[in-house]
């Protein structure tokens, strides 16, 4: 134990004072200052935890993290400057002892992040704050579901889960809180996750030019600091800590149709048949709150849905899955079994004097299950047998902030919080997170052989382990369409890889052009769901006239063609934690152009598709092509990167580009994910300058067998310079659904034969169209049309059953 002289000075709010004593512990150090105690723990070479409290013990969040320290080597030493250094291969942390403040450096001595030495960690009453110095030209990204610009510098944000109907594109807070951000400066990047579930504020230089800070209205200063050599690795480190999603059911990646609300049952079966009659692929239909009797969860309205089992069976015969809404409010009616059971078994949130808390929601006055209590989560999971017996496939947890009329839940009500007993102030931000957890566990309880699908509106860091997310009650306008893209990309930066928005807008009514454009953009979103509200015009893809119907059909078919690529990318995300929709700030964080207003909405989908979203009112747009070469998807025109181009963007052609060197995997048209394809995997190979690897992944799409070798995984390497395509030996015990592979080469139309060992293949030259042709509504003259400009691409057909082989293109 090293002892230091205790400071006799007592400056108000000037940090936590001098370090009185410190000592080494497993994986770090611990100590005391003149006003607090602290622990610094090395979780990994790229992750250090900082805990500071004014109490005798720490009170950590029991929900968000899933990992413990890995026991990596770290060197701890004290120098003559009254500093303690904790060194890993990625981070050198300097602990200044007099006064206490932290400086995170690279092994080369570059400052990554530093406390403001005067304030560092300070308390104002119960509010705890960490003040950080701003580095030169520092940018800030992340924080999950936050509106505004990609770069959050100069703004402040509040984390307090809020039901916000028809929110504005700059409004805050919204439904979900993820207190994790990434700072970028001087060719460096770092991440900070403030693991405190109280209401918190992140201020990135709003109203001051001295510091940035994050604060919680109560609780400990408990944060994790991440640093690695790329933004992607920082996101992976955060996902290692908070968990990654598991493989979703394949059907959840198809098109999903929702409305508030479809009823009666005949309307829903007609809806399903219309998709099939119009040759528009779709997989999911939602049942919103009007399926219930007087909005009471775990009921069906006997008049609107007299035989729900029969209805759901009919939908399944047409290839549809059914997702049902679950709200947390339990109507306080005696004789209503969920209320009677919840009251008797002590499952509801209470006031401190033991009276059950009631708030008004759709059913009227309601009690609210305490999902921070393990026994309540188990009870809810058991109640979900009601829906399972009806044949329901997935669950949609809504109103789980929790929402109630008046939007002002009393702070003094009590929550179990895994036995700690806390107030609403500490429990609110994780309430929806734990409801989604209960829904996921209930789905597994009812159907243990099938993967769950849960969609949630509210959540906190770690929500990706239990549910997909959507961005709530958006509005049918052009700005909201673009804001939704940024929200999904920001969620991806923050560990939530499976996310989406209400296509077409929930509130208000989309114009014809807006809906068409929104559908084309949403094809390149992890979650592809359209949703609209009551008392509005029909908003199905055929409801806007023949032109919009044809555009929608083309893009919906493209989504299903792309499913081999999308599904493989979901598999990669379960391993890395990286999103499918990647803001350009992940791969190109130090390129200032990507933060400009006109380019901040662009993103990379599935690591190889550059999407340049554009409002439906534009006919031409500027596109920034990042470093590398890019092929315009519709005609394979090649563009050099690191430049701004002007791109025609008629309503039927969203600007989309394929990264040079990529392998894009497609399949034939299907009407839903359960329908068999033509057993051919179509691989589009784009010539580049380097080697690249595509991981092709398959499994049965529904069971958990993939966790135990029930998968087919094959590494495919493309060496552009040598023009050699190598198929590695497949892994896993699942038999591929594809018997043949058809190759298309883009960027080298003059290729001759191909050789596989001694076997020679002669190419056929085919025009390749990713979209069907718009025969009647196309605004472009034939000579300007991407469809007609497609260069004939050489193609080859090979058997998929060969173990491992290479193809040389001569």
Catalytic residues: 398, 401, 473
- Which residues in 555-594 belong to E strands, given as ranges? 581-583
Helical segments of 580-727, H only: 584-587
Q: Which residues pair with 114 in a beta bridge?
A: 103
Q: Distance between CA 623 and CA 605 in Å, rounded?
A: 16
Cα separation values, 551 from 289, 555, 561, 652, Å:
31, 6, 15, 6
Q: 3-class SS at 339?
A: helix
Question: Taking phi first (over 0 means left), then psi (-120 to 50 degrees means alpha), and beta for anything else, what does residue 228 get?
Answer: beta
Token pair for 574: 């379960």
CB neighbour list of residue 545: distance below 8 Å, 6 or more residues apart:
512
> Angle at CA 570, nearest 5°, toward 566 and 571?
120
Cα separation values, 121 from 118, 131, 225, 228, 309, Å:
9, 6, 15, 24, 58
- Cα 342–chain centre separation: 33
CB neighbour list of residue 335: distance below 8 Å, 6 or more residues apart:
none
Q: Which residues pair with 582 in a beta bridge?
A: 604
Q: 3-class SS at 480?
A: helix
Report cis status (omega within 30 of 0) of the bond before 99: yes
Q: If we measure between CA atoms, which residue out of 189, 213, 222 comes closest to residue 116?
A: 213
Cα separation values, 367 from 1, 85, 363, 807, Å:
52, 52, 10, 65
CB-based contact 548:516 (threshold 8 Å): yes
Q: What is the dihedral of CA 752, 756, 760, 761, to 10 degrees?
A: -60
Token pair for 513: 């052009």
Q: For the packed helices 512-522 and 546-561, what is the interaxial angle rounded to 10 degrees? A: 0
Q: Distance between CA 706 and CA 247 in Å, rounded?
A: 9
- Which residues in 14-91 belong to E strands, given as ranges? 19-25, 28-33, 37-44, 47-53, 75-78, 83-87
How would you classify the pairing of strands 805-809 and 754-756? antiparallel
Q: Distance between CA 187 and CA 594 in Å, rounded?
A: 15
Q: Distance between CA 809 and CA 803 in Å, rounded?
A: 20
């Amino acid at each position: 134990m090293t002892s230091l002289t205790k400071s006799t000075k007592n400056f108000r709010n000037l940090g936590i004072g001098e370090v009185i004593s410190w000592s080494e512990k497993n994986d770090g150090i611990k100590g005391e200052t003149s006003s607090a105690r602290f622990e610094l723990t090395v979780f990994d070479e790229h992750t250090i935890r900082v805990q500071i409290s004014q109490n005798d013990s720490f009170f950590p969040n029991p929900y968000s993290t899933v990992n413990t320290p890995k026991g990596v080597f770290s060197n701890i030493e004290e120098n003559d400057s009254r500093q303690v250094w904790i060194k890993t291969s990625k981070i050198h942390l300097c602990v200044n002892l007099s006064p206490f403040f932290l400086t995170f450096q690279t092994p080369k001595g570059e400052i990554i992040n530093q406390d403001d030495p005067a304030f560092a960690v300070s308390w104002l009453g119960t509010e705890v704050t960490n003040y950080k110095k701003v580095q030169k030209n520092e940018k800030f990204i992340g924080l999950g579901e936050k509106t505004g610009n990609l770069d959050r510098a100069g703004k402040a944000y509040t984390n307090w889960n809020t039901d916000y109907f028809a929110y504005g594109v700059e409004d805050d807070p919204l439904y979900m809180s993820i207190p994790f951000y990434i700072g970028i400066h001087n060719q460096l990047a770092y991440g900070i996750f403030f693991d405190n579930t109280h209401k918190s504020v992140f201020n990135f230089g709003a109203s001051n030019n001295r510091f940035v800070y994050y604060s919680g209205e109560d609780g400990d200063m408990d944060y994790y600091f991440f640093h690695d050599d790329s933004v992607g690795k920082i996101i992976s480190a955060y996902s290692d800590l908070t968990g990654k999603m598991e493989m979703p059911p394949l059907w959840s990646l198809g098109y999903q149709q929702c409305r508030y609300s479809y009823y009666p049952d005949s309307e829903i079966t007609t809806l399903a048949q219309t998709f099939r009659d119009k040759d528009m692929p779709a997989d999911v239909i939602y049942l919103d709150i009007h399926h219930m009797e007087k909005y009471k969860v775990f009921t069906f309205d006997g008049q609107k849905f007299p035989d729900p089992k029969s209805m759901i069976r009919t939908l399944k015969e047409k290839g549809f899955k059914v997702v049902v809404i679950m709200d947390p409010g339990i109507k306080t009616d005696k004789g209503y079994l969920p209320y009677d059971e919840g009251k008797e078994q002590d499952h509801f949130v209470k006031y401190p004097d033991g009276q059950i808390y009631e708030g008004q929601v759709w059913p009227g006055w309601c009690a609210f299950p305490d999902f921070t209590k393990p026994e309540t989560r188990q009870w809810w999971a058991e109640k979900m047998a009601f829906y399972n017996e009806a044949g329901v496939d997935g669950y949609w947890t809504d109103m789980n902030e929790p929402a109630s009329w008046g939007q002002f839940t009393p702070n003094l009500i009590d929550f179990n919080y895994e036995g700690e007993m806390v107030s609403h102030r500490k429990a609110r931000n994780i309430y929806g997170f734990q409801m989604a957890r209960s829904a996921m566990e209930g789905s597994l309880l009812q159907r243990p052989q099938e993967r769950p699908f849960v969609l949630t509106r509210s959540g906190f860091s770690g929500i990706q382990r239990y549910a997909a997310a959507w961005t709530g009650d958006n509005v049918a306008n052009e700005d909201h369409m673009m804001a939704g893209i940024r929200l999904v990309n920001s969620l991806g930066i923050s560990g939530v890889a499976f996310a989406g928005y209400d296509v077409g807008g929930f509130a208000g009514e989309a114009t014809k052009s807006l809906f068409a454009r929104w559908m084309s953009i949403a094809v390149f979103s992890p979650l592809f769901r359209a949703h609209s509200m009551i008392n509005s015009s029909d908003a199905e893809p055929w409801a806007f006239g023949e032109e919009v119907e044809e555009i929608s059909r083309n893009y919906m078919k493209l989504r299903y063609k792309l499913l081999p690529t999308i599904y493989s990318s979901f598999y990669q995300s379960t391993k890395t934690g990286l999103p499918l929709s990647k803001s350009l700030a992940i791969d190109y964080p130090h390129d200032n152009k990507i933060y400009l207003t006109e380019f901040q909405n662009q993103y990379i989908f599935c690591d190889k598709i550059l999407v340049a979203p554009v409002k439906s009112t534009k006919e031409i747009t500027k596109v920034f092509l990042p470093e590398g070469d890019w092929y315009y998807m519709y005609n394979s025109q090649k563009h050099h990167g690191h430049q701004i181009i002007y791109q025609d963007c008629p309503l039927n052609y969203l600007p989309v580009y394929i990264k040079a060197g990529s392998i894009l995997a497609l399949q034939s048209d299907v009407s839903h994910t359960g329908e068999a394809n033509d057993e051919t995997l179509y691989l589009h190979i784009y010539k580049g300058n380097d080697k690249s690897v595509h991981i092709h992944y398959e499994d049965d799409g529904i069971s958990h067998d993939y966790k135990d070798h029930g998968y087919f995984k094959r590494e495919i390497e493309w060496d552009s310079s040598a023009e050699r395509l190598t198929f590695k030996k497949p892994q896993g015990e699942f038999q591929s659904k594809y018997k043949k592979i058809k190759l298309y080469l883009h960027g080298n139309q003059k290729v001759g034969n191909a050789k596989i060992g001694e076997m020679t293949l002669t190419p056929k030259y085919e025009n390749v169209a990713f979209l069907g042709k718009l025969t009647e509504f196309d605004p472009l003259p034939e000579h300007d049309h991407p469809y007609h400009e497609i260069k004939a691409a050489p193609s080859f057909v090979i058997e998929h059953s060969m173990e491992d082989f290479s193809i040389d293109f001569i």
